[in-house]
Structure 1
Amino acid sequence: MANILQSLNRTVAVGVILTIILLGIMAAAYNLSFDIDFWRTISRYLHVISGVMWIGLLWYFNFVQIPNMPNIPDEQKPAIGKVIAPAALFWFRWAALATLITGLLTLVLYYGHERSISALTFTLISDYSDPQALTIGIGMWLAIIMAYNVWMIIWPNQKRALGIVEADADTKAKSARTAMLFSRTNTMLSVPMLFAMVAAQNLS
């Protein structure tokens, strides 16, 4: 077991194998078939996995890294800026994109074409009242705004702030502040976004 846990790749691989075994047991016990319900489950699972990675890293930045940066001695800060932050930002931005894509896929698989359009337009162009579609639509638009912030604002500014691309000291400082403010914006939006996602599952 120690041999597995000493390697992240092996740890994740065993986690995937255990999930496949669990899926096989469920398939045998409940006569599961590769129908729409199966693909809905897989899509939602991938959406949750991606979302946990994305929001987990967002909250890590805002609850752990940013508040504690002033407490780190100057000679130790390069370890954060040159090693930890770029690695975290890699998973952060791609998890945001994966969450968005799997979320849209899950929406279509569960709601179909018409209700998906209804959700994304806040039911404004539909002929019926649909509180579930309205709620999930609000959650999705909040997530879309957050993903836009990640790719179009936070990441470009972080590249300058961390020295991944050339920038003078003034630009680095401004970029670091901009990235922080939009990261805080995403943290703020994540609270109602998650509520909307959960609430939509309990509305009919």
Structure 2
Amino acid sequence: MTKKIKTPNEMSFLDHLEELRWHLIRSTLAIIIIGGLAFLMKGFIFDTVLFGPMMPDFPTYHVFCDFSKLLGFSESFCNTEPQFTLQSRGMSEQFSAHIWTSIWAGFIIGFPYVLYEMWKFIAPGLHDNERQNARGFISIASLLFFTGVLFGYYVVAPLSINFLGGYSISDTVVREIDLLSYISTVKISVISCGIIFELPIIIFFLTKIGLVTPEILRKYRKIALVVVLIISAVITPPDVVSQVIVAIPVLILYQVSIYISKVVIRRDAKKQKKNVKSS
């Protein structure tokens, strides 16, 4: 006998939990497998990727240098020789850094598959028209995430490393940065930007469930501007150029989110009118 496949309406709470468990297991396995491959690519992951932003020939510094000269601001990015050394003081610190960096690499690279598994869990509970409207969700969300990751790696991480690595309260203090502290700075810059760039997707779903409207987003636009500038000031050096570089894309994403919310409201209104006429 073939086992009857239950529809979402026929599934109990425990059935949904079991279904979610398997989606999470498959997502975790994908991250572990990709992370295992990253573990074998130690030289590339660390020497090229992670330690790249602390090198003076990192491409971003050349762009920042030219940009600063063009606007007549400080040319601090034109001299980016490392002003600190990395150190490992724990017996297992390097091995631990290798393991966790590989896992995070597995998550970043495997993000589209994790989204796919989450979508497979959510999609059966949606109506056909809702699934149709959300077509391309995985591709768009993945594109936004990877764009944010690249922005964090090529913009936020170099800004943070250049400023924090060279900051000094006294010549008496020797700049010897712990390996895990350095990796954490790069990781937070990359992951946080990847998540921030998902703002249009988040606004789309919040609008669909009625928690957000274009009017609310416009009303709090000034507050959002202040919040963005504060965040930019926290994660970047205290100069105008760095803060503007970080703030501009986030503000653009906020404006795009307003447009997306407006489109969702307009489509829902048209569907309601169509349903009223048909009834």
Which TM-score band applies after superposition, normalised by the shorter structure?
0.3 to 0.5
Q: TM-score, normalised by structure 1?
A: 0.33
Higher Cα radius of gyration = 2
Q: TM-score, normalised by structure 2?
A: 0.27
